[in-house]
């Protein structure tokens, strides 16, 4: 089964999106029969990857299509149930890669909500009207304000440890401590109490922000959302950009988009992603931006391609990025984004590219980049060069016209597109070596040939046209021969030097601990907690600590 990450509010089965002037309401109403794969029911607003695909789509549309919205309320249409978290039947039956990719995508969506709050003037409220357990409470933790109905029933819980033999895998424990500053001893107690915490205790411990009686709940939630919406800098009278359907053609060996081509060499386990530069210059003003605006269209296609490859093409362990197009036209779009950075829609395009590049950083594939004659890795596209595990640049020309490969860094590479560690990719690349960073930043705004790019440290190596094909072939063959597990671990360790942030903690722990825990028999074995949940039989644990 191929999992598709494209959807539309008209096709949602699990969410209802409504907009009331400056406030949007995202109502969770999961269809029990609407599981992405068969064999389980999505009861009590439990969710699987299909539910989160719709949530991600809604968050994206709110940012691009609704500039008037300054606050978003996440609530439930089911009485006395907010969300009971990830569906246990799905977790028990899914294979290991799907479980981990589900957790990763879920957390990227949660991070996108936090990014909207921090950078887009679109703040979120969680209106908890009943049980918010596991991933349901984790969803609430991503919002700016958690409001809990004070009726003796509504509660918050992270019951994964006592019930399922796993840990809150989409950032719950990290957000509890690093974001909400809950004392760790209280967090320890909270994370081992199956029934969760209600009322005043939840408020006193900092698990929620406000208690509201049932009779006043709806009005109070609306009032808080109105107040938050009044603090936004988003324009109430602007026109949004409809995120129209992507044009895609799937084949046995790849996907073709309008500005991106993915070609899969299955015997070699390599996927080559070739970016096509723009054909026309940018509009004169931001008012001319549509869904066809090249950076937005390319970004959506690249985002879709990365997600598609993650879950549907597990054997393609190496992504090779290439580009082709007019470097001057790419430079004109990059200048447009920098010049109009304060415009709400341009800001959203840049923030989207920040999230796409973070998704590349977090993807467990080898990333190589090839800078060749005819490439257009300029400005924000040069971030792909810097995000890659290695980048190779061809010296000289393979073109009868004599064109050589060039690469250009701009202001897009020195601030607006930080990694999860809070640093730019240049700062991350030269972590601990200020002199090397100074050399790299000194060439910002200059077109670099192969030797200049090598001297600045922004590519791994250069090769001439005589050796290029053979050398690249050998490098790729060697990489493909290594253990995928060892490479995933190595790459995840090398990509994030520098300071730790809440985001790097979440994804680092997800990669290391959840990846490990999900494969242990205590969780996933025939007598493990995931398999025996709901059967009335207690799990059987291997009691050795390892």
d(CA 76, CA 79): 8
SS3 content of the chain, % helix, strand, coil (to 5): 45, 15, 40
Full 3-state SS string of 267-285: CCCEEEEEEECCCCCCCCC
Taken as a whole, the chain contains a residue count of 546
What confidence category does residue 27 fall into, taking pLDDT thresholds of 50, 70 and 90? very high
Mean pLDDT of 524-540: 92
d(CA 18, CA 39): 31
Q: Are strands 461-464 and 390-395 parallel, antiparallel or unpaired?
A: parallel
Q: Look at residue 138 and give its three-state secondary structure.
A: helix
For 71-80, write each residue's pLDDT tens digit.
999 999 999 9
74 beta partners: 26, 126
Q: Look at residue 294 and give its three-state secondary structure.
A: helix
Res 64: pLDDT: 98
| pTM of the model as a whole | 0.97
Place of tokens 């990025």: 321
Burial of 442 per CB tally in 10 Å (0-12, 13-18, 19+): exposed
Q: Are strands 318-324 and 270-276 parallel, antiparallel or unpaired?
A: parallel
Query: What is the dihedral sign for C-alpha 316, 320, 324, 328?
Result: positive
Asked whether residue 516 carries a pLDDT value surpassing 90, the answer given is no
52 vs 519 pLDDT, higher one: 52
Query: What is the dihedral sign for C-alpha 496, 502, 505, 511?
Result: negative
What the chain holds in terms of domains, given with CATH numbers, is 9-218 (3.90.226.10), 249-278+291-336+350-493 (3.90.226.10)
Contact 229, 70 (CB under 8 A): yes
For 281-316, write each residue's pLDDT tens digit.
999 999 999 999 999 999 999 999 999 999 999 999
Mean pLDDT of 43-61: 98
Query: What is the dihedral sign for C-alpha 43, 145, 509, 105?
Result: positive
Contact 322, 375 (CB under 8 A): yes
Contact 171, 108 (CB under 8 A): no
State the Rg of the chain over Cα: 24
Q: Which of 401, 395, 254, 397 is nearest to 316 (CA)?
A: 254
What confidence category does residue 509 fall into, taking pLDDT thresholds of 50, 70 and 90? confident
d(CA 41, CA 256): 35
Residue 19's H or E segment, with its range, is strand 15-20
Distance set, CA 112 to CA 32, 89, 324, 412, 491 (Å): 26, 27, 30, 20, 23
The secondary structure of residue 155, as a DSSP letter, is E
Residue 119's H or E segment, with its range, is helix 96-119
Mean pLDDT of 196-201: 97
Query: What is the dihedral sign for C-alpha 396, 399, 402, 404?
Result: negative
Biggest CA pair distance of the chain:
77
Residue 426's H or E segment, with its range, is helix 425-429
Place of tokens 């002037």: 21
Tokens of 488: 């995933």
Task: Annotate 12-60 with DSSP letters as a single string.
Answer: -SSEEEEEETTEEEEEE---TT--SSSS---GGG-B-HHHHHHHHHHHH
Res 403: pLDDT: 85
Asked whether residue 38 carries a pLDDT value surpassing 90, the answer given is no
Q: Are strands 366-371 and 390-395 parallel, antiparallel or unpaired?
A: parallel
The CA-based dihedral angle spanning residues 250, 260, 452, 445, taken in that order and rounded to the nearest 10 degrees: -160
The secondary structure of residue 35, as a DSSP letter, is -
Task: Annotate 240-255 with DSSP letters as a single string.
Answer: ----PPP--EEETTEE
Straight-line distance from the first to the last Cα atom of the chain, in angstroms, rounded to the nearest whole number: 36
Res 306: pLDDT: 98
Q: For a pLDDT cut of 70, what percent of the chain falls above it?
A: 100
The secondary structure of residue 148, as a DSSP letter, is E
Place of tokens 């049932």: 214
Most confident among 92-96, 113-117, 399-403, 504-508 (mean pLDDT): 113-117
What confidence category does residue 512 fall into, taking pLDDT thresholds of 50, 70 and 90? confident
**Helix H segments across 120-183?**
135-141, 160-164, 172-174
Mean pLDDT of 399-404: 77
């Amino acid at each position: 089964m191929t999992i598709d990450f494209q959807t539309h509010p008209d096709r949602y089965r699990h969410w209802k999106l409504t907009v009331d002037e400056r406030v949007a309401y995202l109502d969770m109403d999961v269809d029990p029969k609407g599981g992405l794969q068969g064999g389980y029911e999505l009861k009590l607003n439990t969710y699987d990857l299909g539910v989160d695909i719709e949530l991600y789509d809604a968050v994206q549309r709110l940012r691009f299509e609704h500039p008037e919205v300054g606050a978003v309320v996440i609530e439930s249409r089911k009485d006395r149930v907010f969300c009971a978290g990830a569906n246990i039947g799905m977790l028990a039956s899914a294979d290991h890669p799907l479980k981990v990719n589900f957790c990763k995508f879920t957390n990227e969506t949660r991070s996108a909500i936090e990014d909207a709050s921090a950078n887009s003037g679109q703040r979120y409220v969680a209106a908890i009207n009943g049980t918010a357990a596991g991933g349901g409470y984790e969803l609430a933790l991503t919002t700016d304000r958690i409001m809990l109905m004070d009726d003796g029933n509504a509660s918050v819980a992270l019951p994964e440890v006592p019930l399922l033999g796993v840990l809150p895998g989409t950032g719950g424990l990290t957000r509890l401590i690093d974001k909400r500053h809950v004392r760790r001893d209280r967090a320890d107690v909270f994370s081992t109490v199956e029934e969760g915490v209600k009322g005043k205790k939840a408020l006193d411990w900092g698990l929620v922000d406000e208690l509201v009686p049932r009779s006043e709940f709806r009005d109070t939630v609306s009032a808080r959302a109105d107040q938050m919406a009044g603090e936004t800098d988003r324009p109430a009278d602007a026109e949004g950009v409809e995120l129209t359907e992507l044009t895609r053609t799937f084949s046995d060996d790849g996907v073709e988009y309008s500005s991106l081509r993915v070609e899969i060499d299955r015997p070699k386990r390599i996927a080559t992603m070739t970016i096509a530069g723009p054909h026309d210059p940018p509009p004169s003003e931001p008012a001319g931006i549509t869904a066809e605006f090249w950076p937005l269209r390319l970004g959506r296609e690249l985002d879709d391609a990365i997600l598609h490859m993650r879950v549907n093409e597990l054997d393609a362990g190496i992504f090779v990025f290439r580009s082709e197009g007019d470097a001057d036209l790419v430079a004109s779009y990059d200048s447009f984004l920098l010049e109009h950075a304060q415009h709400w829609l341009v800001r959203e395009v840049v923030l989207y590219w920040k999230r796409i590049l973070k998704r590349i950083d977090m993807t467990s594939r080898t990333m190589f980049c090839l800078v060749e004659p005819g490439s257009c890795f300029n400005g924000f596209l040069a971030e792909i060069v810097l995000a890659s595990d290695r980048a190779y640049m061809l010296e000289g020309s393979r073109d009868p016209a004599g064109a050589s490969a060039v690469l250009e860094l701009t202001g897009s590479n020195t601030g607006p597109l930080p990694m999860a560690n809070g640093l730019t990719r240049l700062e991350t690349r030269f972590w601990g070596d200020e002199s090397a960073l100074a050399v790299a930043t000194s060439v910002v705004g200059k077109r670099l040939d192969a030797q200049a790019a090598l001297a600045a440290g922004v590519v791994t190596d250069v090769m001439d046209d005589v050796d290029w094909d053979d050398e690249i072939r050998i490098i790729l063959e060697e990489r493909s021969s290594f253990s995928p597990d060892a490479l995933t671990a190595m790459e995840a360790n090398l990509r994030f030097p520098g300071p730790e942030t809440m985001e790097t903690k979440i994804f680092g722990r997800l990669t290391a601990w959840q990846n490990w825990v999900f494969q242990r028999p205590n969780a996933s074995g025939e007598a493990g907690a995931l398999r025996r949940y709901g059967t009335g039989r207690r799990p059987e644990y291997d009691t050795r600590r390892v």
